[in-house]
């Protein structure tokens, strides 16, 4: 049986070589405390046997769609915060303007006007002047620890191939789904 993480690495490498736009883009689905779903595009910032890392809000299902390859991958599972060291390292890799933007934004909360956001950004520029911009205490990344990974491949006559991997203990079982 194929390891689903190894298969992801193979498909992801192909997407990085062939996808003309942003192969790191994935749809992130979340649910608020009232059960209201929301979805938006975020970027994959790392993956390994521990899971799939992104930097935004918690609680997730992920969907990669690589149109030029006629493929998609759906990942579901619990989430955990990345370590402080991982969060700090990624935050340090961002541009200074993006770092300042992280301080200025109350991500996904209501905003009364664009002018308010721009004023907050300018206030952060003044606050940190030419010094380093530390990672805000509210800002971190998350890792989806998959318990289900589905690989979908477009096929002729809508007879698509769907391979489903389900975590069982430390291993995985693999099966097929009807299109």
Helix (H) or strand (E) segment spanning residue 97? helix 96-104
d(CA 59, CA 155): 32
Residues 6+ apart with CB under 8 A from 158: 179
Are 27 and 63 spatial neighbours (Cβ–Cβ below 8 Å)? yes
Neighbours of 51 (CB within 10 A): 20
Residues 30 and 176: their CA atoms lie apart, in Å, by 26
What are the residues facing 26 on neighbouring strands?
A: 42
CA gap 57, 29 in Å, rounded: 10
The residue from 125, 158, 163, 167 that is catalytic is 158
**3-state DSSP assignment of residue 96:** helix
Q: Is 71 a catalytic residue?
A: no
Q: Which residues are catalytic?
A: 158
């Amino acid at each position: 049986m194929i390891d689903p993480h190894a298969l992801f690495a193979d498909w992801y490498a192909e997407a990085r070589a062939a996808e003309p736009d942003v192969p790191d883009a994935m749809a992130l689905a979340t649910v608020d405390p009232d059960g209201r779903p929301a979805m938006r595009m975020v970027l994959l910032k790392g993956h390994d046997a521990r899971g799939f890392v992104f930097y935004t809000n918690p609680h997730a299902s992920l969907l990669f769609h690589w149109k030029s390859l006629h493929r998609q991958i759906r990942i579901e599972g619990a989430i955990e915060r990345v370590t402080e060291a991982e969060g700090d390292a990624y935050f340090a890799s961002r541009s200074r303007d993006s770092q300042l933007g992280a301080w200025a934004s109350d991500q996904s909360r209501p905003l009364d006007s664009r002018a308010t956001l721009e004023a907050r950004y300018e206030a952060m520029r003044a606050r940190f002047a030419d010094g380093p911009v530390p990672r805000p205490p509210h800002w971190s990344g998350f890792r989806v620890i998959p318990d289900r990974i589905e690989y979908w491949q477009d096929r002729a006559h809508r007879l698509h191939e769907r391979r489903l991997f389900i975590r069982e203990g430390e291993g995985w079982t693999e099966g097929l789904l009807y299109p």
